[in-house]
Amino acid sequence: MSDHSVSAPPLAVDPGTGRQAGPAQAIVLLLASCLSVLGAVLLAPVLPRIQDAFAGTPGVATLTPTVLTVPALVIGLTASIAGRVVDRLGRKRLLVSALVVYAFVGTAPLWLSSLPLIVASRILVGLTEAAIMTCCTTLLADYFHGPRRVRYFGLQVVYTTVAATLFFAVGGLLGSWGWRTPFWVYAVSLPLAFVAARVVWQPPQQKKEKLPPLPWRGLLVPVGVTLAGGLVFYVLIVELSYVLDGIGVTATATIGLVSAVGSLATAVAAFLFPRVARLGPAVTIPAAFVLCGLGILGLALASSVPVVVLGAVVTGLGNGLMLPALLTWALGTLTFAQRGRGTGIWTSALFIGQFASPLVVLALSGAISGLSPALLVVGAAALLLAVAVRIVRPTRPAVG
């Protein structure tokens, strides 16, 4: 891991124009990164209408939720493959192609007449999202180094968090015109593809017969912690409405407001991440898990709305700190020729953890009689994980 002779140069420069990477490239990549949250939140408000529309379909109660969740599962299963393609064929070509295909498979349910076909189209959405997310994160790491890379990793979480809040509102608004209407939003990737083709450039890479091996000894621990981190990260998003329902709050306006406060805390922590990143992952990652653990314990024990809000804010702060800290740790020791595969593996771990999160909480709820005890277990596990990571003492990034 000490040999970084094939790493990207300190200043990434467009080989065609000689211009250094800057805000234009960053904004395109940050906006494209937001597409990965479309599948998770845009359709949530119209799921009941989709189920009603296909009420005669066998297994409709099972198939309908998969419209929402299957893209995340597919990302988890295929992002590592996308990472290999990124390292082998190049970043730009895959990104632009995936953005174009995303628009067609994302809007396909506008014309599809059966629920199984819609679920199949959502699998394809997950495949394109895996490629887009892997390309965007890899290019951010290629273009920017040191404090600038840290800053943009933090902004990636800010952009996707704000986008998730916005897409949830847009999905609800468009859903009032029919359950198919929100699917039009997926067409936004077409203008993004056009801009990416003009603005994004492929970093120069050495021609190799064979890709260099990944430093598994240094990568497995960050990836394993990221798998657990994805599970912890998604608890607030999935379980908050159930926590509020458990204390008698059923008004959607109140639930939406508390959710927005938690999302805002996530965005704030991610925005501030560059200021604490100098402390290194040995501090930032345990701190993130401590905040998440304490916040989830607060949600488990809450009996009033103010306590739920406090728990949501503390958990949100931990979430906002967690993702850029884990990403910086995982990619920090990878060279250019390793970075696409490393990013894909990291993305897979994160999304598998997120997909598993509600299933784990549901299993715990059934095993130990209720949501509150289940959240107590998850919160305590997050605190133990903070201690474990502190003992491991992750090293500071060594490459660019």
Domains along the sequence of the chain with CATH: 14-205 (1.20.1250.20), 214-395 (1.20.1250.20)
**What is the model's pLDDT at position 64?**
81
- pLDDT tens-place string over residues 344-382: 889 889 989 888 888 888 889 889 988 899 999 999 999
Checking if the pLDDT of 203 tops 90, the result is no
Q: Is the pTM of this model over 0.75?
A: yes
Q: Please state the φ and ψ torsions of residue 114, each to the nearest 5 degrees.
A: -135, 150
Contact present, 285 and 394 (Cβ < 8 Å): yes
232 or 169: which carries more pLDDT confidence? 232
Query: At 5, is the pLDDT very low, low, confident or very high (cuts 50, 70, 90)?
Result: very low
**What's the mean pLDDT in 245-258?**
77
**What is the model's pLDDT at position 295?**
97
**What's the mean pLDDT in 295-301?**
96
Burial of 60 (0-12, 13-18, 19+ CB in 10 A): middle
**What is the model's pLDDT at position 9?**
46
Query: At 396, is the pLDDT very low, low, confident or very high (cuts 50, 70, 90)?
Result: low
Residue 174's identity, in one-letter code, is L
- pLDDT tens-place string over residues 313-340: 999 999 999 988 998 888 877 887 788 8
62 or 222: which carries more pLDDT confidence? 222
Query: At 232, is the pLDDT very low, low, confident or very high (cuts 50, 70, 90)?
Result: very high
Q: Please state the φ and ψ torsions of residue 207, each to the nearest 5 degrees.
A: -75, 125
**What is the model's pLDDT at position 125?**
94
CA distance 211 to 144: 22
CA distance 234 to 241: 13
